[in-house]
Structure 1
Amino acid sequence: MADPLVALACGLSAAFLFLLLFGLSVYLLWRKRRTQTLYRGLIPTTPTIPRCTAPVLQTSQSSSYGSGDVPFVVPPQFKRTSQLNEGKEGREYAEEWELHPDLHTQRGSLTVGSWFPLGSIRPDLYQLPEEPSEWALPSGSAVRLWFALRYQQEREQLVVSLLRAANLPVWCQSNATLVKLQLLPSDDRRHRQAKARRKGCHPQFNDTFVFQVSNSCVDQCSLNMSMYTVDQKKHHLLGQVLIPLRHSELKEAAGEVQWRDLDNESDQPLSKNGDIQVSLNYNQSLHRLTVVVLRARGLQCSSDAGVCAQVSLKIHTQVVRNKWTTVAKGNNPSFNERLTFRLLPMQLDTACLTLQLQQPSTAEPVSLGIVVIGPFMYARGRELEHWNDMVSKPQELVRQWHPLGSADTVQGPQ
């Protein structure tokens, strides 16, 4: 009983398979014929190519475009002709050429081997565009610096492209120009240096530098760029730019050209003992107070004397920690050093910073000046304002100049 059913099933399967193959073959044959018919209607079997009756003409190289309209001549239309009237049209074209002998002068002046007309060059199309607004020179005596910043998040790298500077003083025209770049605050005390490719009041750099910065520390860093002019191996500071880094701003203006005018406080009056420039930052979550000693000016010492800065953290009247910078020479020394202290948030109202410039020696160090920066318990005026700005701006390095007082005038908390 099972054998007839198996035979019936096999027969039905074979019949279905046959019908399926037959239908597929018919469909493929129909599609092939339809495609051939379609292409036969689109592409002619015997294409006709019009014969170019106009000969290649030797052109004049003296014609040029003026300020008027560009001359344009429509060539004679090509007609599909047979070999019977070919000679007749050739004679007609020769007659037309005799009647209009200046036809060749209305073609292009640029030729290859003087026989292949290619058209004339329009000089106005090859003029360089005017400099964009970001390249505009600054007004007055300010020195401007152009650069571009780009942060590669996947590599944790800050790419700084130093482009050019402008409006340097006239006395810098014959001197070399240097720019020192440093990331602050940073444990790496080394700086990167770029030298201008040419001298003058508008030097160009076109250098690129890479700083390794983790994603979590970008918002806490600032880029410091100081410009110097070199006269007989002596470096004269022209000014500097301090750029606080923001992750969101770096992402929006990735690679765009930016400019800053150099910060030059030479027009401000100096104090009797000189001034010191300091940047402060307090990270409440890490309980970290960061002090960046940048530079000093107008010190009452010889230019060859070594100078260092002693930074002391005091709570009430007790000195908690003392730290020193490296020794720098000159009466306008540049330190650019970062010092950190541990400070709890509850101690902000009872702590202060004492910065003292000294000349280290084998005997007792010589004090050149001192300043106290802190809350209302210790400081007033500019020093109090600097401390309050540090507390209210936890994401910034707050920078400010402070006049130095005599060591005997500052004796602990006020």
Structure 2
Amino acid sequence: MTTADQTNPGLSSVPSAVHTQGAPGFIQDVWDKIPLPRWLLITVFAGVAFLLVSCLLCIVCCCCRRRRKKRVKKETVGLSRASNSTSAHLVQPDVDDVELGLADPKRGRVQVSLEYNFRSQELRVGLKEAADLKALQAAGMSDPYAKIYLTSDPQKIHETKVHRQTLSPVFNESCVFQVSQAELPEAILVIQVLDFHRFSPHAPVGELLIPLGTSDLQHVLEQWYELGPPGQAEQEQMGELCFSLRYVPSTGKLTVVVLEARGLRQGLPDSYVKVQLLLNRKRWKKKKTSMKRNTSSPYFNEAFTFLVPFSQIQNVDLLVSVWGHSRVSRGEPLGKLLLGCRASGHQLHHWSDMLAHARRPIAQWHRLQSPEEVDKALQIKKGPRLPLPGS
């Protein structure tokens, strides 16, 4: 033992710097034993890590999509989450929302003059010109002409001359209709602009309806009018129907109260309303009101209750139709309405408002639609009428 060791004996217990360098760990041993270059090992490990991260991201995305689908299903089926503060336009939408975008301003406009002689009870209609008509031909032009008639006398129709290859024809034509003062409040002037085709049906460009009852005929009127979509005059002649809907989810009771109708087609004095339910586009249940005679504005005020389980409310369509009856014609549909999840326009608004305001009756006027149009949209399937549990 040296002198330094004798003076400071504690130093002999401290390990030297050589002893602090321990043997390599387990990972280092495995790394060294692999007979591959290190750059290749790093590439393999990076690829494996990338695949794992990609798999985890895919699993997370799938889970999120499933949750979103479940939420959408709950929102469409669950009435308990429906808001009770539905906006007012669901009950009675504005006039601009009636056609749901079908009124196309690009159909053009026409200049019309009206003059009514109260002594002779004659209405003089002048069609001056049209502008910015919608081109229906491939060349970007049209051969327009116009039809003018009154809904009170649809048999008397005035047709203008055909103007070739133009979108702004100058008609400068007039016609006279015999209209009594008693017929003025209900009469509607119809102007239809069509595109002439020699070897095929004439294509409708647009249509204008002018209610004479709301027009100031004390003076000569002359102004420009925007053309609307074709087919409005037919719907006006079909009339309107008012009824209320009420649904109670807890009991599954759907109550339809047929209140009244107005403006039904003349010549069919007897009428009744048929209420029909369709399940999965198959006929299920139907009921009808009593016959109302000798009136075009019948008042029914009859209620019908159907049992519709809450689980099937999204699969049910409500078909309301007005039928006319006369000695010559029996069982002729004057107009139909389709309500439900597959409906559109006022009918869809009315149905949605009923679901949003459960247990409360919602009443609304509806303009009757063409029976052919509604039947085409229904596409009813033939099959047996199977009763539902609790129905």
TM-score range, shorter chain: 0.3 to 0.5
Greater relative contact order: 1 or 2 (C-alpha under 8 angstroms, separation 6 or more)?
Answer: 2
TM-score, structure 1 as length reference: 0.39
TM-score, structure 2 as length reference: 0.41
Larger Rg: 1
